[in-house]
Amino acid sequence: MQRIVIAKPGGFDALALVESPDPLPKAGEVRLCVEACGVNYADGIIRMGLYESAKRLHGYPITPGFEVAGVVDALGDGVDGWSIGERAIGVTLFGGYTSAICLPIDRVFATPSALSSEQAAAIPTVFLTAWFMAHRQVHPRAGERWLVHSAAGGVGGALLQLARLAGVEATGVVGAAHKIEAARAMGAAHVIDKSAGDWVAAAKTIAPGGFHAVFDANGVSTLQPSFDALAPMGKLVVYGFASMLPKDGRLNWLRLAWDWWRTPRFNPLAMTTSNRSVLAANLSFLSAEAPLLREGMLWLLERFADGRLLPPPLQAFPLDAAAHAQQRIESGQSVGKIVLIP
């Protein structure tokens, strides 16, 4: 098998392709011959050494990657319900940049016939994150208004689709004009291109009374105005800090410290008078909640199978071009999802 290994945190050159023996499934596991691996922004943060769950739950060396899709090619003892040759999606806690992986059966799901392996590998992380925020934290109701930052990205696009299914009017914020159509295609009723003007003023025009939920993965650059854009009883959901991180793969520790110092601290006393809340999500720290995540994944796959949900736009790179894939996603110019092909 081939896999990508990060021996220690660093730049893009820290991603090394290595050869290893094929793993053997233990009792209750299946082995997947991986045909596609999902790439997420978090993978680059792991490479930089800043991803807290990678440090706490795994350590270095580490193979990044939270999701794969492929074909079952070996079964461990006691495995029922799976056969050699079946197409499957695997949800991993790291280890996904690989050509073969063994996973417990509660983290493996049948791939809907409507999806290719590339599309299937692009789904778990972004859609589970969106599902958790939307249906376990925000609880959408028809007629509500949401503001979704990074709306042409993986999680942003998933949130737009979930909003559409729930009858929510979603406004997407994108960082460049070439992303507008992607956000509309995913279900945005309105799209704000923040490269073309003041996104705060545009959002105020769209929802003068504020938004019932704002989803923000930017961090310091937008957190305070995102909170200010909430309606009474609104919820700000934080799931990333992209504006604090570099676009060239090299950390600037001075700037990182400055941005950390400038990050808003929300006053719970003030929140009680405004009836506005701040929530946060990190899927990798929910690994102990396997039944919850399995429930969410089954809910999502049912809707992919019947066409109510659509896979995001894709760009594919070979596994040995993992550095180029991460560079692309960190540039801020990508749309939808990126996958690696072993």
pLDDT of residue 73: 97
Q: Between helices 290-305 and 124-132, what is the axis angle to 10°?
A: 110
pLDDT of residue 246: 82
pLDDT tens sequence across 60-77: 999 999 999 999 999 999
Residues with Cβ within 8 Å of residue 124, at least 6 apart in sequence: 38, 66, 67, 89, 91, 297
pLDDT tens sequence across 210-227: 999 999 999 999 999 999
Contact yes or no for 158/129 (Cβ under 8 A): yes
pLDDT of residue 244: 85
DSSP summary character for residue 22: P
**Total domains in the fold of the chain:** 2
pLDDT over 90 (residue 247): no
- Work out the average pLDDT over 231-248: 91
Contact yes or no for 96/340 (Cβ under 8 A): no
pLDDT over 90 (residue 289): no
**pLDDT mean across residues, the chain:** 95
Residues with Cβ within 8 Å of residue 107, at least 6 apart in sequence: 90, 91, 92, 290, 294
Write down which residue in 235, 268, 283 finishes a domain: 283
Write down which residue in 283, 298, 319 finishes a domain: 283
Q: Are residues 146 and 92 in the same domain?
A: no
Residue 321 domain flag: yes
User: Which residue segment(s) compose the domain that 40 sits in?
Assistant: 2-123+311-341
| Banded pLDDT at 251 (limits 50, 70, 90) | confident
pLDDT over 80 (residue 287): no
Q: Are residues 117 and 215 in the same domain?
A: no
Distance CA 177, CA 192 (A): 9
Q: Are residues 131 and 183 in the same domain?
A: yes
Q: Are residues 230 and 254 in the same domain?
A: yes
Query: Can you give the CATH number for the domain in which 106 is found?
Result: 3.90.180.10
| Banded pLDDT at 104 (limits 50, 70, 90) | very high
**SS in 3 state form for 68-83?**
EEEEEEEECCCCCCCC
pLDDT of residue 286: 85
Which CA distances in Å does 233 have to 134, 272, 277? Answer: 15, 10, 7
Residues with Cβ within 8 Å of residue 302, at least 6 apart in sequence: none
Q: Are residues 116 and 40 in the same domain?
A: yes
Q: Are residues 277 and 148 in the same domain?
A: yes
pLDDT of residue 82: 97
pLDDT tens sequence across 127-146: 999 999 999 999 999 999 99
Q: Which amino acid is at 120?
A: A
pLDDT over 90 (residue 256): no
Q: Are residues 151 and 217 in the same domain?
A: yes
Helix (H, G, I), strand (E, B), or coil: what is residue 102? strand
| Banded pLDDT at 250 (limits 50, 70, 90) | confident
pLDDT over 80 (residue 288): no
Q: Are residues 68 and 208 in the same domain?
A: no
Q: Are residues 44 and 64 in the same domain?
A: yes
Query: Can you give the CATH number for the domain in which 257 is found?
Result: 3.40.50.720
Q: Are residues 106 and 154 in the same domain?
A: no
Q: Which amino acid is at 128?
A: L
Give the predicted TM-score (pTM) of the model. 0.95
| Banded pLDDT at 248 (limits 50, 70, 90) | confident
Q: Are residues 109 and 131 in the same domain?
A: no
Q: Which amino acid is at 252?
A: N
